[in-house]
A and B are shown apart, each in its own frame.
Chain A
Amino acid sequence: MANFSLSPAQEQLIEEIRQVAAERIAPVVRELDEGDDHFDFRPAQALAEHNLLTPTIPRAYGGRGLDYFSTALLLEELGATCAGVATVVTTNIHAAGPVILAGTEHQKKTFLPLLASPEPHLAAFALTEPEAGSDIGAMSALAACEGGVWKINGVKDFVINGGIAHFTTVFATTDPQNKRAGMMAFLLPSGVPGLKVGAVRNKMGIRYARTVQLIMKDTLVQDELVIGRKGGAYLLLMQTFDRGRALAGAVGVGIARAAFEFALRYSKERRQFGRPIFSQQAISFTLAELQTKIESARLLVWKACWLIDNDLDYTMASSMAKIAGSQVAQEATAAAMDILGGRGYLKGCPVEKLLRDARVMSLIEGTNHIQKAVIASQL
């Protein structure tokens, strides 16, 4: 592992995504930040054309087959361009995760190629409920099997890509007394009867990532759409989280990098007291510290992804990467706003959007408190 240079293929991937981001995403970022209710397919379309909308889909199913390390490189670039777009991609990766890990061949052939097609297809991941956030054991969405068909009733909240996804990976319980062993994962194709979109969540940041409530009322799901074997969904969920968190860290690193680069440029151009503000140690040391923290967080993300790709124990590393990435995103955007002075606080200034986007990073994919609990449980 002690090799910190990227391979030519990884360098090329970064070039490719930087080009897509600069030509097809960056020009529309401000528009994307405006509305939560309508979904603008242009960025998703651009990524789909490069088979990067769900980059972890295995090649056997038409995907790009990127490993987690390369996926983290991609997500750092997307995070630096628009964290909302990056979050749509991580949600697709999340939703596809259980199918890749434990889906039947039929499920894989039906759902994975969709996410790898040159048309933008989205997937959603529905776990959180109004009364079950960090405490997924409080889940109350109920699944009951009647004659080989499952009936699901319950409400899911904060579902990114909800209502515009081609399928939703939904978690429900068969046994309220015993939610871990009773937990089940289902694939709900779009348009399945009884699945309705509730409130559209009007968010402070990552506004491109459309986020809704999903209501399941007697939603019928065929038995062949159960993911993994009975009793195994809890373990699938944890594995999906453990992988996803490293990627959330990568998005945080991207946000931090964008804020840092913007503030650095500005500090060298902005003159006060007859010289660039960068010449003040208060500014240059802040930037030096940020650079150090960004690099540290990136290395944690890389390490976690390397462990995932090598099937080594990655739980703790992934939580550490998520904490580090989200913290540096919040710290860098706040510091960048200070460096920009009043201009940084104006709508339309990229740092203002970055700061709002960064704020959610300690909440999603399991709050940072929960990450600390994960780490502590392994000490």
Chain B
Amino acid sequence: MGYKSIGRQLQLAREEAGYSQEQLAAKIGCSQSTLSNYEKGKRRIYLAQLEKIAEILNKPIEYFLRPADYHRGEPESQSGEPGNQSSPAPKKKDTSYQANLLPILNMPGEDQGEKTALEQNLLRLFQSLSPAGQILVINFVTWLKEREVGCNGEF
């Protein structure tokens, strides 16, 4: 559903920029609870408000509108009138190495800048693991990420 995914992107961008809900709410002139509802998808955010937020968080509008799984190249499921709350039919979980790696291999281009020493170190350690170990790490990171952005099982 559209607004839950917009809310998640919003939360992600806010946290990335290091703002608390209170701080960002003050900057855009709304209450913390309104911002919290935007992030949960419980209140619809409209263009004018999102434009303000996009400017503060230095992101293009499209960033908030693309589905969280856009990098996988999957068409967005029922993004229409929010009505379209139904989640896609549950897919059988593919546990193969390739399938687990796919989300990471296809990360959007903007994440591919210079790597910090920490990232390089992490990559070296990751590459030194067995395929099974790599899958474990990916599963853990995916779980962590979902927890951070409050995934509701939409993707």
Contact A137 B79 (CB under 8 A): yes
Q: Is A138 an interface residue (CB 8 A)?
A: yes
Q: Are B75 and A374 in contact (CB under 8 A)?
A: no
Are B81 and A132 touching (Cβ within 8 A)? no
Q: Which residue of B lies closest to A132 (CB)?
A: B80
* Contact A231–B67 (Cβ < 8 Å): no
| A189 touches B (CB below 8 Å) | no
Can you list 19 A-B contacts (CB < 8 A)?
Answer: A136-B80, A137-B75, A137-B79, A177-B76, A178-B76, A179-B79, A180-B2, A180-B67, A181-B61, A235-B46, A235-B50, A236-B46, A238-B44, A313-B34, A315-B43, A369-B83, A374-B81, A374-B82, A377-B1
Question: Interface on B for A, CB 8 Å cutoff?
Answer: 1-4, 34, 37, 41-48, 50-51, 60-62, 65-67, 70, 73-85
Q: Contacting B80 at CB < 8 Å: which of A137, A232, A239? A: A137
Question: Would you call B47 and A101 a contact (CB within 8 A)?
Answer: yes
Q: Is the CB of A229 within 8 A of B77?
A: no
Judge whether A239 and B79 touch: CB under 8 Å: no
A6 in contact (CB, < 8 A): no
Q: Are B66 and A377 in contact (CB under 8 A)?
A: no
A234 within 8 A of B: yes
Question: Chain B's nearest CB lies how many Å from the CB of A378?
Answer: 5
A228 in contact (CB, < 8 A): yes
Please name the 3 residue pairs, one residue from A and one from B, whose CB atoms are nearest each other, closest first.
Answer: A137-B79, A136-B80, A370-B83
Interface membership of A366, Cβ < 8 A: yes
Given A179-B76, A376-B85, 5 new contacts (CB under 8 A) = A136-B81, A137-B80, A235-B47, A242-B44, A313-B34
For the complex formed, measure the closest distance between the CB of B6 and the CB atoms of chain A, giving whole angstroms.
Answer: 8
Fill in one digit per residue for A317-336: 1 if any B CB lies within 8 Å of its CB, else 0. 00000000000000000000
Judge whether A180 and B41 touch: CB under 8 Å.
Answer: no
Across-interface contacts of B1 in A (CB, < 8 A) = 377
Nearest to A241 among chain B residues (CB) is: B81
A180 and B79 in contact (CB under 8 A), knowing A239-B46, A239-B47? yes
Known contacts A101-B47, A238-B44, A366-B83, A176 near B75 by CB under 8 Å: yes
A152 to B81, CA, bound (A): 22
Cα A378 to Cα B42 with chains together (Å): 5
Q: How many residues of A contact B (CB 8 A)?
A: 37
Closest chain-A Cβ to B41's Cβ sits at a distance in Å of 7
| B70/A178 in contact, CB under 8 A | yes
Given contacts A313-B43, A378-B42, contact A137 B84 (CB under 8 A): yes
Instruction: Give the CA-CA distance A236 to B2 in the complex, in Å.
Output: 13
Complex contacts, A315 vs chain B, CB 8 Å:
43-44
Q: Are A232 and B47 touching (Cβ within 8 A)?
A: yes
State whether A102 touches B47 (Cβ < 8 A).
yes
A313 to chain B, nearest CB (A): 5
Q: Once bound together, how far apart are the Cα atoms of A236 and B60, in whole Å?
A: 16
Cβ distance A227 to chain B, nearest Cβ, rounded Å: 10
Q: For B80, what are the chain A residues with a Cβ–Cβ distance below 8 Å?
A: 132, 134-138
- Are A180's CB and B82's CB within 8 A? no
**Quick one: closest B residue to A98, CB to CB?**
B47
Also in contact, A181 and B47, with CB within 8 A (given A137-B78, A137-B80): no
What chain B residues lie within 8 Å of A177 (beta carbons)?
70, 73-76
CA A137 to CA B77, docked complex, whole Å: 7
Tell me which residues across on chain A come within 8 A of B62, comparing CB atoms. Answer: 181, 230-231
Interface string of A124-150 (1 = CB under 8 A from B): 000000001011111000000000000
In the complex, chain B residues whose CB is within 8 Å of the CB of A178? 66-67, 70, 75-76
